[in-house]
Amino acid sequence: MPSSLLWAVDVYGRVYSLSTTGQQWEQCRHAHLEFKRVSAVQQCCWGIACDHHIYLNVHASDVRIRYQEETYENQRWNPVDGFSDRLLPSDRWQWSDVTGLTHQPLDSFQLPSENWEWEADWYVDENFGGEPTEKGGWTYAIDFPATYTKDKKWNSCVRRRRWIRYRRYKSQDTWAKIPSEQTGSLPDPFNDISCGGWEITEEPRGRLSLWAVSLQGKVWFRDGIHYLNPEGSVWEEVSTPGEVVQISCGPADLVWAVLWEGQLLVREGISRDYPKGSSWVVVESPSPEVGAIHVAVGVNVVWAVTKDHRVWFRRGVNSHNPCGSGWIGMVGEMVMINVGLNDQVWGISCEDRAVYFRQGVTVSELSGKSWKAVSVPRDNERSHSSASASSLQSAGCYFGGEVHLQSQASVLSDVDSEAEKATEGAPPTLEPDEAPKPRIPKVTSDSFISELVSDREGQIGRHEGPPTAAGPSIPEEEGTEWSNVDLEEAQTHLTVGTVADSAETCSLSSVATYNLGLEEQYGADEHPLWAWVSGGGCAIDSHSQLNWFNSTTGLNSSMQAMSLSITPTQTAAWRKQIFEQLSERSKREMENFKHYEQAIEQSVWVKKGSMQWWRDWKPYKWMDVQFAVEQFSGAEGNKDGILFIYYTFNEEKKYLHAFINEVTILVPVLNESKHTFAIYTAERTKQRWPIRLAAATELEMHDWLALLSVSCCDSRGIHGPPSKQAIWSVTCKGDIFVSEPTPSLEASPYPMPCDQMFWRQVGGHLHIVECNSLGVVWGIGYDHTAWVYTGGYGGSFFQGLSSSTDNIYTQTDVKSVYIYENQRWNPVTGYTNRGLPTDRYMWSDASGLKECTKANTKPPSPHWTWVSDWAIDYSVSGGTDREGWQYAADFPASYHGHKTLKDFVRRRRWARKCKLTTTGPWQEVPPIPLSDVTILPCGLKNAVEQVLLWAISNKGDVLCRLGVTSLTPAGTSWLHVGTDQPFKSISIGGVYQVWAIARDGSAFYRGSVSAQNPAGDCWYHIPSPNRQKLKQVSVGRTSVYAVDENGNLWYRQGVTPSYPQGSMWEHISNNVRKVSVGPLDQVWIIADKVQGSHSLSCGTVCHRLGVQPMEPKGQSWDYGIGVSSLLLCS
């Protein structure tokens, strides 16, 4: 789990965040002003400051937010000037957008706000649809508008070129004011804010919904917020049936608001196309006599707080029924509630103002079990005085809020009476028992001040001057000078603030605010008093391990010390000493006495059990068999074993056996109905016929797999973690395998055949794995999460001895399952789900051959569980209409996203997410999701300190990882390498050649990459093979191979040290899915349609034979295991 943040505001208006891996509240130092409320999501946090303006805090990322501005320069040819900017009157503008309709000169582009900066100047784009253009970037056509080509022809009368300039968002990790550009239509300041809605669309654009409430009770929606435009573009008013005091927006399509009168509003009609929704429905307050004052919504939950602080849970809420069905009263009295990710709930107790977490909230039990206080110290607990001093300083500048003013006023005059007055002046909605509490000490001015001194030393140090001039604080003369000025200012503001507060518009929120003011004076510093909490960015669920509860300051620091010591133990001297001494001891006590008899004789050890076996002959079927593994120790102490399958055929007892040391791989083949696995030997790989066995339960299968795996490793003398030179691969199911290279693997002229390599499984789940020979291994999950190998082994179902104790962590992965809804048009009813008799199933898989309904489609294996509901998938290639439909003339055909007259069928894709949780030697590398990764393949003699690692984010950004060494394989940070378009594949060769493929299929070579300059300096555009769009590239020591979208494998000719770009592409093979070139230029591919492979495999690993220094292309393919493995050599 990567760490994420819980945000909170204390009663002083200070903003804090608490990391899921941390144990203390960190004050947000960038906040130079007090905040009233915050609303967090994972990538940013919105807040309302005490000046009632809205601020945005975008979390810093190694990849900056960059927005590409583009404009076109258009020219026409005339006999006099040649091409010139003198166009015909009927022509487009000289500078225009792509359509030519809008006039767009370069100087018309302005930065949208002061939070942006230009990255560089304008430049010409010399890439035209994946092909490099001539210098100057011109593309030619006969006339506007027309088809452009990169070559000038005799009839080219017009030409145009594209200019690009990037601007980037600069206000990261700081509170940037959102300019209120429409001052006219925004008469009053904001009072509440709520951010969410990112799950409404599955777009990578990262659209967000931001709802805000003004002091007058109006609701506003911020339009146009997405990843490249974090500030949004415009406020739109949303009319409401009454005055709203508070609003809450969930991650998906739930939006609820609270009316001044205490009823609740539910927004209906929110969808992908209408994130603002269409109408409001009123829901009555949970309790008829007491109105609601606060509401919080998640994906499928709604929580509310009534004016008596009671907490309510709304039953039956979901996307189809946003109003739910009824209220349930919950235990606990809260000031406010917030629902974060995974419908987890946070609250601020009205009794002690502590932040509470709702424990036990799961999908099946959304209301959770109990409240648990978050008790961690704040980072400024010890250095408190300085912190509050600084906060006051800033308060002097921005004093518009209510909180501090009251306390300061009290200090200045008679404290007692002031406090009383303040109480009397409370708004009528104030809870009576919220006023002077018995625990509040009766204070005199002196004792009060001293208490305050202990509380907020810095602040009081400045204020105690005038009232206690005779007191012992004379040395603080300078401070007094200061405070006089400061206070005068504050007082003027005070009047303003009070007027605003006591005005009719005073909302319910001031109930909370007022109390805060009161409590602030007496607040015991042991317990921070919180005003607001937001868990929208806090990625936890009911299984998360949090160290936030029941910790005291003392224990906390020691706990941190302990958790820190986990890793250092490995390097600690004492540990090294034990390792060394033990091996010395073994040598001393055993080496010379090996001929002695052992006291305990070793014997044969057998494990037996019942299983089902997929019969070797026709008719193939599962039959009951007895399965046994015999393990014995050889003469030299090495272990070996045999596995037996006892079956009955024609009432005759027979058996089949295999030697454990001949097993090459054990593959779990989980499907819905059976818990099966396959055992391959070299012989059976050749025959494409593994031993397939099914156990009765998953647990049994895992027991057997773990046992067999240990036996296989024992028989081959493999113990502990994989070596640094190990070869890693993943199957198409995401299982991870590792193989120890043997010297014979690449031996010439008779390399070890692929089918004899032994692969053992390592826990975890990955989509892509990449390694080098220094033991740096990275992986990418199906959900694009980046993982780094920790040096352990085992995990998953490998328990106990086949797993290391350290370095095993929880790993999760999420992927989508897709089904298709198919319809046919008929003249009477239009499109219906009644097809022709010859048609495919109306609910099917992509091919249409298999029926897949929403109800009968299960997750891929029992390890996966559904985590979302079925939703229409709009991100299908070819595009869709607004309802997600794609049209075609008939099944099966090519589909397009709009209906034409010739279209008689249509289909749409539904997606449902499922999640897998396992364990393995992998640690997440947050926070940027990746789609490809490559590591410099270091030769063994190569003592490179820093290991070059490049990656591509799932948005297509090219990234270079800094600080990667064999001791710190995770590295430290990303360096963003600018590109003009998104990329999809990348590979580094043995001598720092970086090759990459852009999304448009063009290839690029990065120049001047070296150990000293890991990011290189510029991109060289390499023309693609004729008419082919490349999709993947792999570089060895000198060879460069690429695969195109049609499965052709290409070899780059003419690559030399002085000309690393090479000269041209040469076709090698077809039916290739993926290629991997090793550091010795070994070529491995995953091939489709290898003869003899059957349905069990979805690809075959092949090794290029005959690769020689003089013949880098090799001669033929050697076919390996029939399990799709994305193979990586070292």
User: Within positions 565 to 584, which residues make up the interface with other proteins, using CB under 8 A?
Assistant: 565-567, 569-575, 577-579, 581-584
Q: How far is the CB of 729 from other proteins (least distance, A)?
A: 19
Instruction: Pick the closer one to other proteins by CB: 347 or 794.
Output: 794
Q: Tell me the three state secondary structure of residue 586.
A: helix
Instruction: Pick the closer one to other proteins by CB: 444 or 569.
Output: 569
Distances, alpha carbon 1122 to alpha carbons 499, 663, 691, in Å:
78, 14, 13
Instruction: Pick the closer one to other proteins by CB: 550 or 865.
Output: 550
Among 111, 282, 469, 562, binds other proteins (CB under 8 A): 562
Residue type, 745: L
Cα separation of 1080 and 746, whole Å? 9
Distances, alpha carbon 711 to alpha carbons 221, 629, 681, in Å:
63, 9, 14
Residue 534 corresponds to which tokens in the numbers above?
């937001």
Instruction: Pick the closer one to other proteins by CB: 597 or 1017.
Output: 597
Q: Does 945 bind other proteins (CB under 8 A)?
A: no
Q: Which stretch binds other proteins (CB under 8 A): 300-308, 458-466, 656-664, 717-725?
A: 717-725
Q: Does 559 bind other proteins (CB under 8 A)?
A: yes
- Kindly determine how many residues on this chain lie close enough to bind other proteins according to the rule CB under 8 A: 74
Residue 420 corresponds to which tokens in the numbers above?
């009383």
Instruction: Pick the closer one to other proteins by CB: 582 or 747.
Output: 582
Instruction: Pick the closer one to other proteins by CB: 453 or 962.
Output: 962
Q: How far is the CB of 220 from other proteins (least distance, A)?
A: 34
Interaction residues for other proteins, span 722-741 (CB under 8 A): 724
Instruction: Pick the closer one to other proteins by CB: 587 or 834.
Output: 587
Cα separation of 671 and 669, whole Å? 6
Q: Tell me the three state secondary structure of residue 557.
A: helix
Task: Tell me which residue has tokens 């609270």.
Answer: 258
The helix (H) or strand (E) run that includes residue 713 is: helix 698-715
Distances, alpha carbon 161 to alpha carbons 68, 125, 820, in Å:
16, 7, 41
Nearest to 230 by CA among 164, 166, 168, 297: 168
CB 1053 within 8 A of CB 1064: yes
Distances, alpha carbon 728 to alpha carbons 751, 766, 803, 812, 919, in Å:
19, 11, 17, 20, 17
Q: What is the DSSP letter of 1010?
A: -
Q: Which stretch binds other proteins (CB under 8 A): 87-95, 803-811, 991-999, 1048-1056?
A: 803-811
Instruction: Pick the closer one to other proteins by CB: 776 or 911.
Output: 776
Q: Does 558 bind other proteins (CB under 8 A)?
A: yes
Residues of 530-541 as b/e, b for ≥16 C-beta within 10 angstroms? bbbbbbbbbbbe
Q: Which stretch binds other proteins (CB under 8 A): 102-110, 116-124, 215-223, 917-925?
A: 917-925
* Contact characters 599-618, other proteins, x per CB under 8 A: xx-xx-x-------------
Q: Which stretch binds other proteins (CB under 8 A): 178-186, 747-755, 923-931, 1036-1044?
A: 923-931
* β-strand pairing of 983-988 with 994-998: antiparallel
Instruction: Pick the closer one to other proteins by CB: 35 or 548.
Output: 548
Q: How far is the CB of 636 from other proteins (least distance, A)?
A: 15
Q: How far is the CB of 918 from other proteins (least distance, A)?
A: 18
Q: How far is the CB of 138 from other proteins (least distance, A)?
A: 45
Output the DSSP codes for 353-394.
--EEEEET--SS-TT-SEEEE----BTTSTTHHHHHHHHHHH
Q: Which stretch binds other proteins (CB under 8 A): 95-103, 138-146, 523-531, 598-606?
A: 598-606
Q: Does 377 bind other proteins (CB under 8 A)?
A: no
Q: How far is the CB of 790 from other proteins (least distance, A)?
A: 4
Distances, alpha carbon 974 to alpha carbons 323, 802, 960, 971, in Å:
44, 35, 6, 9
Residues 855, 859, 864, 870: is their CA dihedral positive or negative? negative
Cα separation of 1115 and 749, whole Å? 12
According to DSSP, the residues that pair with 237 across neighbouring strands are: 220
Q: How far is the CB of 589 from other proteins (least distance, A)?
A: 6
Instruction: Pick the closer one to other proteins by CB: 385 or 785.
Output: 785
Distances, alpha carbon 70 to alpha carbons 103, 125, 126, 383, in Å:
12, 9, 13, 50
Residue type, 1028: Q
Nearest to 1068 by CA among 1056, 1082, 1053, 1054: 1053
Phi, psi (rounded to 5 degrees) for 379 = -65, -25
Q: How far is the CB of 227 from other proteins (least distance, A)?
A: 20
Q: How far is the CB of 696 from other proteins (least distance, A)?
A: 20
Q: Does 927 bind other proteins (CB under 8 A)?
A: yes
Q: How far is the CB of 578 from other proteins (least distance, A)?
A: 6
Among 154, 596, 617, 1059, binds other proteins (CB under 8 A): 596
Residue 424 corresponds to which tokens in the numbers above?
């009397």
Instruction: Pick the closer one to other proteins by CB: 499 or 561.
Output: 561
Instruction: Pick the closer one to other proteins by CB: 232 or 721.
Output: 721
Instruction: Pick the closer one to other proteins by CB: 43 or 1070.
Output: 43
Q: How far is the CB of 639 from other proteins (least distance, A)?
A: 10
Nearest to 793 by CA among 904, 699, 921: 921
* Contact characters 764-793, other proteins, x per CB under 8 A: -----------x------------xxxxxx
CB 536 within 8 A of CB 363: no
Interaction residues for other proteins, span 694-713 (CB under 8 A): 710
Among 319, 359, 468, 966, binds other proteins (CB under 8 A): 966
Interaction residues for other proteins, span 812-871 (CB under 8 A): none
Q: Which stretch binds other proteins (CB under 8 A): 103-111, 158-166, 752-760, 922-930?
A: 922-930
Nearest to 385 by CA among 326, 454, 325: 454
Q: How far is the CB of 934 from other proteins (least distance, A)?
A: 20
Q: How far is the CB of 607 from other proteins (least distance, A)?
A: 11
Q: Tell me the three state secondary structure of residue 707.
A: helix
Distances, alpha carbon 733 to alpha carbons 257, 737, 787, 1019, in Å:
44, 12, 17, 35
Nearest to 39 by CA among 246, 217, 180, 187: 246
Interaction residues for other proteins, span 524-553 (CB under 8 A): 545, 547
Residue type, 159: R
Among 460, 925, 948, 977, binds other proteins (CB under 8 A): 925
Interaction residues for other proteins, span 111-150 (CB under 8 A): none
Among 104, 133, 285, 807, binds other proteins (CB under 8 A): 807
Q: How far is the CB of 605 from other proteins (least distance, A)?
A: 7
Cα separation of 1028 and 1070, whole Å? 13
Residue 505 corresponds to which tokens in the numbers above?
């518009």
Cα separation of 1017 and 992, whole Å? 13
Cα separation of 159 and 173, whole Å? 44
How far is it between the farthest Cα atoms of the chain?
111
Interaction residues for other proteins, span 20-79 (CB under 8 A): none
Among 597, 652, 945, 1017, binds other proteins (CB under 8 A): 597
Instruction: Pick the closer one to other proteins by CB: 475 or 568.
Output: 568
CB 997 within 8 A of CB 1011: no
Instruction: Pick the closer one to other proteins by CB: 182 or 972.
Output: 972
Interaction residues for other proteins, span 477-506 (CB under 8 A): none
Q: How far is the CB of 430 from other proteins (least distance, A)?
A: 41
